[in-house]
Amino acid sequence: MARAAAVSPRHLGRLFHTELGTTPARWVERVRLERAQQLLLDGHSVTSSARRSGLGSDETLRRAFTRHLGTTPTAYRQRFATTGTVQRDAQTSASGTEYDGNKRTVYRTLHRNGGS
């Protein structure tokens, strides 16, 4: 990410902390988790959701769900897929960061308002 944003890894970390209040690694995990949530609600299996979201394995997905949402992927799907109560703004993620799957969006977000 630092290379894509044309900054050093250390500076990228500072930008993330200043602009988003988190680290690059935590931000990436959150974006991947949000993608996995949507995949589960779209009917994908836990394994498929883990792979397609970039989390890799069922175990990694389960740990991320437990850490961030306090539930398992299967329980999440059972609860929200049938009730339709999940509300998702396609423009803004739960972490408050605009993200469209493009590295340039991260760069623009970090450098908004004349950032470093």
Domain boundaries, the chain: 27-110
pLDDT at 83: 60
pLDDT at 90: 35
| 99, pLDDT greater than 60 | no
Note if the pTM is more than 0.85: no
Per-residue pLDDT band for 9 (boundaries 50, 70, 90) equals: very high
pLDDT at 81: 75
pLDDT at 112: 56
Q: What is the C-alpha to C-alpha distance for residues 107 and 104, in angstroms, rounded to an integer?
A: 5
